[in-house]
Amino acid sequence: MLKDKVILKIRDIRKIYHTKEKEILAVDNFSFDLKQGEFVAIVGPSGCGKSTILSILCGLEDASSGTINKVDNLKFGYMLQSDNLFEWRTIYKNCILGLEIQNLKDKEHIKYVNSLIKTYGLLEFKDAYPSNLSGGMRQRVSLIRTLATKPDVLLLDEPFSALDQETRLAVSDDVYRIIKKENKSAIMVTHDIGEAVSMADRVIVLSDRPSEVKNIYEIKIKNRKNPIENRKTKEFSDYYDLIWKDIGYHV
């Protein structure tokens, strides 16, 4: 597929949650385009509506108004904010859940899953149950489960939040590599500005609820490499400061 081809066009999304007590305007006037092979990060204060946006994109929630145009047969892979591992399934069985549902349990996919399990250091725990895993390991299983079906667009909701700093850097490097190698696209929600700047081609900064796009930063790093290397560049710290000031939230 072509690079720079727009695969997802989002216009004026608005989402109102209705409960008996009140209505909550979670997202207002949210627009942006996603190109083939692009990595977009979304940052914004807690509760501003980031997860809501991903759910709408994935088709799990209907927007109250606005339009989403996407190219045909675009397959999403949604890594939810909570790992939602099935306690009664082994790690391996959890990893292939999506394959089972989409009838993709063929040799090629199974092999891919096995290689991911190995890469993410879970080989030893393949036949263990989720209750025996640490939070970070669980998150890696959830990531493998999402990658297994080989989606075109990855929707990642704070995918590395439970990982320690070291693993976090390594895993984000890996995910970045997979996405770039296979020319996939990704939209990643994160609270970590450094992560956003080092991984993404664009960073969308959202305002407080209802979330509107406050600013979009094109991340232009000369000699762009993998996230870990990117962190060492001068541009990285410039963007970091810029976005930090922009968000103005204190975490």
Partner 1 sequence: MYSLEHKKYLKKIRRNSILVHLTQILIIALFIFIWQFAANNEWINTFIYSSPKSILETIIDLYKDGSLFHHIWVTFYEVIISFILGTVIGIVVASILWRFKFLARVLDPYLTILNSLPKVSLGPVIIIIAGAGVKSIILMALFISVIVTIINVHQAFISTDSNKIKLLESFRASKCQIFFKLIIPSNFQNIISTFKVNLGLVFIGVIMGEFLVSKAGVGYLIMYGSQVFNLNLVMTGIIILAVMASLMYYLIVFIEKRCEK
Ligand X SMILES: Nc1ncnc2c1ncn2[C@@H]1O[C@H](COP(=O)(O)OP(=O)(O)OP(=O)(O)O)[C@@H](O)[C@H]1O
Burial of 213 (0-12, 13-18, 19+ CB in 10 A): middle
Any idea how long the chain is?
251
Minimum distance of partner 1 from residue 76's CB (angstroms): 7
48 or 171, CB closer to Mg ion?
Answer: 48
Q: Applying CB under 6 A, does 159 fall inside the site for ligand X?
A: no
d(CA 64, CA 7) in angstroms, rounded, equals: 22
- Measured at CB, which residue is nearest to Mg ion? 51
Sole binder of partner 1 in the list 31, 46, 69, 82 (CB under 8 A): 82
| For partner 1, the closer CB: 45 or 77 | 77
Min dist. Cβ of residue 130 to partner 1 (A): 12
**78 near partner 1, rule: CB under 8 A:** yes
Smallest distance, Å, CB 207 to partner 1? 26
Q: Which of residues 96-155 bind partner 1 (CB under 8 A)?
A: 97-98, 100-102, 149
216 belongs to the binding site for partner 1 (CB under 8 A): no
Exactly one of 32, 64, 81, 89 binds ligand X (CB under 6 A); that residue is 81
- Residues near Mg ion (CB under 5 A) are 51, 81
- Residues near ligand X (CB under 6 A) are 17, 19, 24, 26, 46-52, 81, 209
